[in-house]
A and B are shown apart, each in its own frame.
Chain A
């Protein structure tokens, strides 16, 4: 009985040792990576917009740009389907453009000619392209970073 009890603890502590042995090289680098800060209000959203599109202080800049589109009208955001970065940027636009209504449209191709034709200019203030090239005929594009382009709606109608 005592031997069984001894075996029980040896068995469990061997398992725990193996567990820690495998875990430590995974957990330790994760603990060490990154540094604290900056201690900023919009720490997370600014970090993402900066990393994905090169925009500094995007949480302040983007709402400011959208405000200039006027009070009314929604934003149509084109994102590339099954492209995590493009979809994430589209959601970021949705996040920072509150309380303006947004419509996120996923497109599979590299062009959005057909989808643009379906837009009703009367209810839309601007069109945003996330990691998608706007059609060549679209003028007055406002580049909001390396992969975000805004076109005020009066310019977006074909």
Chain B
């Protein structure tokens, strides 16, 4: 019964996302099934968690579950009708060569292995005490987090101010399973990897014009030890990998839009970038980086109006979450001091240590192997290409790392170096798939850029 409920939850997530994806791509006349499946998972998690948050304010228990499930069904019907009206075909792209077949099979095997591995581990410290705790308390309260949780000083350790994207996806599974099952809920995290690898292959293929390079890069992705073997990876139920997938998708589709001017791409960017701050607080930094880069690039391409419209959902979500935290009287708790010039000047001497720790982390083989060396070489290629889009991609990898590092200037921990050491490896995960995108484009180094997937 529990497993049946689990399938019900996953099915409703995917159909909600499928409805939205097909609505977006219907007008193109051809819907790539792999792309559609990956985006369905991302959008589905976003939709379901947002619906639970919104409707949870008005109802709870079975009515809440029924309303959200009904909206998921309505979304898939709307999406399907849009596809039928546009006479669009759903197409499963098949590998064209033996190399592509082999690489595609390896990707599938890697996904299967990571799903298996995820179930061998318990939820990690943050996975349990920052994220799952919210899902559990909401489940015990019928589907919404009680206001007393936000104002509870004693539970400040669980960061009540963190957004609910992943906790409410977990909650959705709990509601369907009928219990807060910490074993089955872990399916969420390798599912994000299962969306990430094909999406990375697809984006590299489209941007480079070479499908085998996309597949090859996706094959290499799980060899970054942090994905499976270190704190923050898929196996411990942290939200860093999910956030990195949303960032990859938002960045990739922004670049595709700039390259092709196809409307569906900017719609995907709008949705994925809007969900960044909903997955983790640091998502605001990633969103800001994308907004800045997108602004410059769309200005250069004279497409500013469309771009400005695309950032409205993100602005709305950030604002809504801030207002909500005010309304629930959040207990003031933060690891960082408010941004001010006096704090900045007072702590400026930290910069040397901060960049020392950053360099030590980037060159830590147990966490990264030589991934950051590869990324650094790729960045040189991208900057040297003198193409605006490629420079933007390189900036999208570098800027978050610099901004994340600078935040430790405002750390309120007794030891800011301990604060940084304990968290920077997870923050670097956020840009890791984007780094692979850069590596793929550096490897391709081609003038012929066509869409092959």
Contact = CB atoms under 8 A, between A and B. Distances in A.
| Mutual binders A and B | yes
Contacts of A41: 179-183
B80 interface: no
B183 A27 contact: no
Given A20-B223, A26-B229, A94-B155, A42 B148 contact: no
A36 B370 contact: no
A34 B153 contact: no
A30 interface: yes
Contacts of B374: 15-16, 19
Contacts, number: 115
Contacts of A3: none
A6 interface: no
A98 B140 contact: yes
Q: How large is the interface on B (under 10, 10 to 19, 20 to 34, 35 or more residues)?
A: 35 or more
Contacts of A55: none
A38 B371 CA distance: 35
Q: Is the contact region of chain B dominated by helix, strand, or loop, or is it mixed?
A: helix
B197 to A, nearest CB: 15
Interface residues of A, number: 44
Given A27-B228, A30-B225, A15 B154 contact: no
B133 A27 contact: no
Interface stretch (A65-73, A100-108, A137-145): A100-108
A19 B383 CA distance: 23
Interface in B201-223: 220, 222-223
A15 B373 contact: yes
Interface in A1-54: 8-9, 12, 15-16, 18-20, 22-24, 26-27, 29-31, 33-45, 47-48
Interface of B: 113, 116-117, 119-123, 125, 127-129, 132-133, 136-137, 140, 146, 148, 152-155, 157-158, 179-184, 220, 222-225, 228-229, 235, 365-366, 369-371, 373-374, 377, 442-443, 445
The 10 A-B pairs at the shortest CB distance, nearest first, are namely A30-B229, A102-B154, A44-B122, A23-B369, A34-B120, A44-B123, A23-B223, A43-B183, A22-B369, A26-B225
